[in-house]
Structure 1
Amino acid sequence: MADKIIAADVVVTSPGRNFVTLKITTADGVVGYGDATLNGRELSVASYLRDHVAPLLVGRDPARIEDAWQYLYRGVYWRRGPVTMAAIGAVDVALWDIKGQVTGVPVYQLLGGSVRDRILSYTHATGWDVPALLESIDAQLARGFQAVRAQTGVPGLDIVYGVTRSGAAYEPAGRGAAPTEEIWDTDAYLRYAPTALAAARDHVGPDVKLLHDAHHRLTPNQAARLGRALEPVDLFWLEDVTPAENQEVLRRVRAATTVPLAIGEVFTTVWEFQTLITEQLIDFVRAAVSHAGGISPLRRIAALADVWQIRLAPHGPSDVSPISLGASTHLGLATPNFAIQEYMGYSDLVHEVFPHAWTYADGHLHPGEQPGIGVRLDEKLAARFPYQPAYLPVARRRDGSMTDW
Structure 2
Amino acid sequence: MNITKLETRMIGLGFRNCIVVEVHTDAGIVGYGETVLKRRSKTVEQNIHELGRYLLGKDPLRIEDHHEKMYRDSFWVGGPLHGSAISAVDVALWDIKGKAHNAPIYKLLGGPTRDRIPVYCHCPAGDSPPEFAANLLRCKEWGYFAAKTTLPLFYGGRAPAADEGYSGARGTISATWRETEWLPTNTFERIAEFFMAGREAVGGDFEIAVDCHGRLSPADAIQLCENLAPYKLMFIEEPTPPEDPAALREVTSRSVTRIAAGERLASIYEVRPFLEARSLALLQVDLANCGGITGGKKIAALAESHYVSLCPHNPNGPLATAAAVQLLSAIPNCFMLEMIGSPEDLELHRRMAPNALQVENGYLKLPTLPGLGVEPAAGCEKEFPYQPFEGWR
- Aligned residue for 2:330? 334
CA–CA distance in structure 2, aligned partners of residues 285 and 271 of structure 1? 14
CA–CA distance in structure 1, aligned partners of residues 167 and 132 of structure 2? 22
Aligned AA (2:164): Y
* CA shift for structure 1 position 134: 1.0
Closer, same or farther: CA 9–299 of 1 in aligned 2, 3 Å = same
* CA shift for structure 1 position 100: 0.6
| Per-residue deviation, residues 277-298 of structure 1 (Å, max 9, x unmatched) | 1232201001100110101111
Which of 320-329 and 184-193 deviates more? 184-193
Which of 213-222 and 10-19 deviates more? 10-19
CA–CA distance in structure 2, aligned partners of residues 263 and 69 of structure 1? 24
Q: In structure 2, which of residues 213, 237, 244 is the aligned counterpart of residue 215 of structure 1?
A: 213
- Aligned residue for 1:84? 82
* CA shift for structure 1 position 353: 2.0
| Per-residue deviation, residues 366-386 of structure 1 (Å, max 9, x unmatched) | 231010111112232323443
CA–CA distance in structure 2, aligned partners of residues 343 and 373 of structure 1? 18
Number of residues of Structure 1 aligned to a counterpart in Structure 2 = 378
Contact kept in structure 2, 1:128 and 1:165, CA below 8 Å = no
Aligned AA (1:139): R
Contact kept in structure 2, 1:104 and 1:372, CA below 8 Å = yes
CA–CA distance in structure 1, aligned partners of residues 221 and 299 of structure 2? 25
* CA shift for structure 1 position 199: 2.1
Q: In structure 1, which of residues 182, 202, 211 is the aligned counterpart of residue 175 of structure 2?
A: 182
Do residues 164 (structure 1) and 158 (structure 2) align?
yes
- Aligned residue for 2:6? 8
**How much identity, in percent, do the aligned residues show?**
32
Contact kept in structure 1, 2:208 and 2:233, CA below 8 Å = yes
Q: In structure 2, which of residues 240, 243, 261 is the aligned counterpart of residue 242 of structure 1?
A: 240
SS of aligned partner of 1:334? coil
| Per-residue deviation, residues 1-25 of structure 1 (Å, max 9, x unmatched) | xx10000111112244422111001
- Aligned residue for 1:293? 291
Aligned AA (1:171): G
* CA shift for structure 1 position 352: 1.5
SS of aligned partner of 1:316? coil
SS of aligned partner of 2:329? helix
Contact kept in structure 2, 1:357 and 1:367, CA below 8 Å = no
Contact kept in structure 2, 1:34 and 1:91, CA below 8 Å = yes
- Aligned residue for 1:193? 191
- Aligned residue for 1:149? 148
- Aligned residue for 1:361? 360
Contact kept in structure 2, 1:49 and 1:87, CA below 8 Å = yes
Contact kept in structure 2, 1:285 and 1:313, CA below 8 Å = yes
Q: In structure 1, which of residues 48, 63, 71 is the aligned counterpart of residue 61 of structure 2?
A: 63
* CA shift for structure 1 position 162: 4.5
Structure 1 residues not aligned, in runs of 5+: 155-159, 175-180, 395-404
CA–CA distance in structure 2, aligned partners of residues 144 and 314 of structure 1? 21
Closer, same or farther: CA 339–212 of 1 in aligned 2, 3 Å = same
CA–CA distance in structure 1, aligned partners of residues 366 and 241 of structure 2? 32
* CA shift for structure 1 position 357: 4.7
Closer, same or farther: CA 48–114 of 1 in aligned 2, 3 Å = same
* CA shift for structure 1 position 124: 1.4
Closer, same or farther: CA 323–192 of 1 in aligned 2, 3 Å = same
